[in-house]
Chains A and B, each alone.
Chain A
Amino acid sequence: MYPFDKFEAFKWVGGRLDGTMTEDTITTEDPITGEEIEIPADVEVGEIIDSPITGAELEVVSVDPISLEEAPELEEDWGE
């Protein structure tokens, strides 16, 4: 199943259906810069996201209310 509910606009372009995929977002404060940023609304505690401003990794430490912290630095034994 295609996630049609996430297409906000459909039109036929060159014989194919075209649309723009959008994701629900929420606004919160970037813990490094203090600026307001938009992040996916379905984040969960422990999730790592990239700051849209600095590119730094941020960890979601709570979702109600939403709160981010700078993620821990890479350690030597991290991996798979």
Chain B
Amino acid sequence: MNVGVLYSRIRRDEKLLLSELRDRGHEVTKIDVRKERFGVHEPPAVFEELDIVVDRCLATSRSRYITRFVDAYDVPVVNEPETAAVCADKARNSLVLANADVPTPATEVTFTKEAAMESIEEFGYPCVLKPVIGSWGRLMAKIDSRDAAEAILEHKETLGHYEHKVFYIQEFVEKPGRDIRVVATDGDPIAAMARSSEHWLTNAARGAETEPIEITPEMADLVERASDAVGGGLLGVDLMETGDSFTVHEVNHTVEFKALNEVTQTDVPAAVVDWLEARVRNVEVTA
């Protein structure tokens, strides 16, 4: 098959994926989205002859648009544009999880700092304030007091881009010093790892320690339901342990898997390519 890979930088994750595709004899067409021009009537020539396109854009804004264009060009794209749009926005992400009855932390969105303050006071301290767009734990605030809340809200309202005036407030989940990342394809878990840190943020990108973790039937069920809620695809589902159960706080659509690949026995890029091959076979059968 001929696989288009949308990118703006080739990280270790993309390198692993490219190597696996080439090792299996697939043709790979790298598409640097910084250099292409995407017309609304005609696709750029680079999209001709592609069997599938994999979106590996690092920038969420590019991901959201480019998946729409590729879809309009009638080339199968993973992840699909609606999945990218939902996962890129924490408010939409939380909303679809809640609507699908997937356990997810209590969350409110407000549009003024006064309403945000009411929400924060009702959640109590600590609670969490997150930007609706963003990753790797950036600009997230664990709010421990009313004074801190007032200062952060004023800064966000005064200094921020308009998206920072969408206040996303969430209960603070007392997790056991770690959270769990499950990488899955259409709800089918490939592998999972626990990410531990003494800091309240446990993103691998922030240096959290990682170790493999067994996927229990309950976790697998939640992953499948969370994946379905956002439209499926190649996803990173983040769970927190709540004592006797789990809560899903986020689903990521351009999931990084290098850390998972390093700590687990599973060959993650191989599993991803297996899934891509099956997806293309499926398209060929139904076409």
Contacts and interface: CB of A to CB of B under 8 A. Distances in A.
Given A44-B10, A46-B32, A48-B10, A78 B18 contact: no
B170 interface: no
B60 A79 contact: yes
A60 B58 CA distance: 16
A8 interface: no
B60 A46 contact: no
B138 A76 contact: yes
Contact of A48 (B9, B60, B254): B9
Contacts of B134: 76-77, 79
B135 A79 contact: yes
A80 B255 contact: yes
A75 interface: yes
A66 to B, nearest CB: 15
A80 B252 contact: yes
Contacts of B61: 77
B38 interface: no
Contacts of A48: 9-11
Contacts of A72: 9
A75 B63 CA distance: 14
Contact of A79 (B10, B32, B58): B58
A72 B254 CA distance: 19
Contact of B253 (A44, A60, A77, A80): A80
Nearest to B236: A80
Interface in B132-185: 133-136, 138-139, 161
Contacts of B236: 80
A47 B135 contact: no
A60 B252 CA distance: 27
B133 A76 contact: yes
A71 interface: yes
Contact of B30 (A45, A71, A76, A78): A45
Given A44-B18, A45-B30, A46-B30, A77 B7 contact: no
B15 interface: yes
Contacts of A71: 9
Nearest to B254: A80
B283 interface: no
A59 interface: yes
Nearest to B5: A46
A75 B139 CA distance: 12
B59 interface: yes
A24 to B, nearest CB: 15
Contact of B58 (A44, A45, A78): A78
Interface of A: 44-48, 59-60, 71-72, 75-80
Interface of B: 7-11, 14-15, 18, 30, 32, 58-61, 133-136, 138-139, 161, 205, 236, 252-256
